[in-house]
Structure 1
Amino acid sequence: MRQLRSPLITFIFCLLVSCGEKETPNPINTSVSPEDTATSRSAQPSSPRTSSGESPTVDPPESTQSAQTQRISAKGIGLAQVGMTLGELKELLADQAEFQVTSPFMVDFDAIAIVQEGKPQYYILYPAGIPMSDDDIIEALVTDNPNYQTAEGVGPGTPLKQAEEVYGEATLTYSTVNESREYVKFAQHPSPDMTFRLGAANDDSLAGVYPSPQKEFNQTKEYKDTATIRFVEVYCSKDCPVQPLPN
């Protein structure tokens, strides 16, 4: 069966980050995987032995489990990885989460909320009016849950000033043709497949201080003291598996 890359990848990426806009400097990939930050086994005390002489199975500390399952990386958010199918994520989470369709989620997009203990953890984005099946590939994830952070401790609710100290100089942009969604790129941006959407004190106003008059595409390095990261979004813009053409 002939295959090609899903057009939904380009559709999602262009709508959310405004394809064709003036580019900021190329980001430097400084993302760190959960494995890179794990505690070295050699630093741990030796495990006790059972009567049979074998080491008993010991679960990781709860704090370590939390850090791994609430990590934002270039590959995904929590246990959800871009490139896996919706069905694979459902199998992975089993009965640990509810999958709730949220329609509409934002202009042009519906979403599936991954809910645990009554609280959305993150969302799977897909174009409005095109429901996902279990065989569909997850191409975009977003979270506004402050419990989820990058390896460097940046996530929803992080003040922009604090994020700038981690990732370097911030450049803020928004486009009127992209619903004026405001984003920030850093001098050492963690990944080209990760975006940070902004807000001022978590309201709908712009976080940046932009020159007048307003243009179709707007850019600044100045921002308000209340500038805060509201959403973190992850895409598989280049590396998503190809999907078969429908019969």
Structure 2
Amino acid sequence: MTVGELKKLYPQASYRLSSLPDLPSVVAVSEGSENLFYFLAVPQSEHLPSDEAVIQLLVTGNSRYKTDLGIGPESDLPEVVRAYGAVKVYYSSDAEYAQFSKQPNSKQSGMSFWLQPPTGEKTAGKYSWKDVKKNLCVEAKSGFCESEDFKSGSKLRYIAIGGRY
């Protein structure tokens, strides 16, 4: 999809440069005061992309958008596990992610989930820490902190859909 095609679907929306954890340069799409979603277009620039730019990634934190199983931002992690199976959570200093045993992906696109820890907590996952004050954990082969357990009250923060490239 191009930026121009997206603008035809959301003609009343406003577009501005923004950032997200792990994504320093994205375009925020809003209608009024409601943030709808963000996108990453190629080629990247310090300016809003042209209508011909191709969208590589869509990210939403808006709970009105849901997967075919009814999962969306703000869904409780136990609900997501019931829908998509066992979870493995990953933490880096930039963001925290979840991968499920029945990950909703296709040959054309992949879906990823960013987590929101419970109120007052730093992480959603229960990790083995070397030094929690310095965010140093026992790293797995992936280079991230990994766990198959999460704290009560953890939720999805963002859902991202991107092409396979």
Structure 2 length-normalised TM: 0.80
1:105 and 1:170 map into 2 onto residues whose CA distance is 23
- Match of 1:230? 157
1:168 and 1:182 map into 2 onto residues whose CA distance is 18
The residue type paired with residue 99 of structure 1 is S
- Residues 67-103 of structure 1: per-residue CA shift (max 9 Å, x gap): xxxxxxxxxxxxxxxxx11011112333xx2232133
Residue 104 of structure 2 corresponds to residue 187 of structure 1:
no
1:151 to 1:203, Cα distance in 2 relative to 1, 3 A = farther
Query: What secondary structure does 2:65 align onto?
Result: coil
- Residues 15-65 of structure 1: per-residue CA shift (max 9 Å, x gap): xxxxxxxxxxxxxxxxxxxxxxxxxxxxxxxxxxxxxxxxxxxxxxxxxxx
How far off its partner does 1:108 sit?
4.4
The residue type paired with residue 82 of structure 2 is E
Q: How many residues align?
A: 150
1:203 to 1:121, Cα distance in 2 relative to 1, 3 A = farther
- Match of 1:12? none
Which sits farther off after the overlay, 138-147 or 191-200? 191-200
1:100 to 1:202, Cα distance in 2 relative to 1, 3 A = farther
- Match of 1:103? 18
Structure that is richer in helix per residue:
1
The residue type paired with residue 184 of structure 1 is A
Structure 1 length-normalised TM: 0.55
Name the larger-Rg structure. Answer: 1
How far off its partner does 1:107 sit?
5.1
Asked whether the 8 Å contact 1:104–1:128 carries over to 2, the reply is no
Query: What secondary structure does 2:55 align onto?
Result: coil
Residue 125 of structure 2 corresponds to residue 198 of structure 1:
no
The residue type paired with residue 100 of structure 1 is Y
Asked whether the 8 Å contact 2:97–2:113 carries over to 1, the reply is yes
Structure that is richer in strand per residue:
2
2:73 and 2:83 map into 1 onto residues whose CA distance is 15
Structure 1 gap ranges (5+): 1-83, 239-247
Query: What secondary structure does 1:148 align onto?
Result: coil
1:104 to 1:166, Cα distance in 2 relative to 1, 3 A = closer
1:155 to 1:113, Cα distance in 2 relative to 1, 3 A = same
1:115 to 1:109, Cα distance in 2 relative to 1, 3 A = same
CA RMSD of aligned residues (A): 2.2
1:92 to 1:148, Cα distance in 2 relative to 1, 3 A = closer
Greater RCO, 1 or 2 (C-alpha within 8 Å, sep 6+): 1
Residue 71 of structure 2 corresponds to residue 144 of structure 1:
no
How far off its partner does 1:208 sit?
0.3
Query: What secondary structure does 1:138 align onto?
Result: strand
1:198 and 1:152 map into 2 onto residues whose CA distance is 18
How far off its partner does 1:217 sit?
1.7
Residue 20 of structure 2 corresponds to residue 93 of structure 1:
no
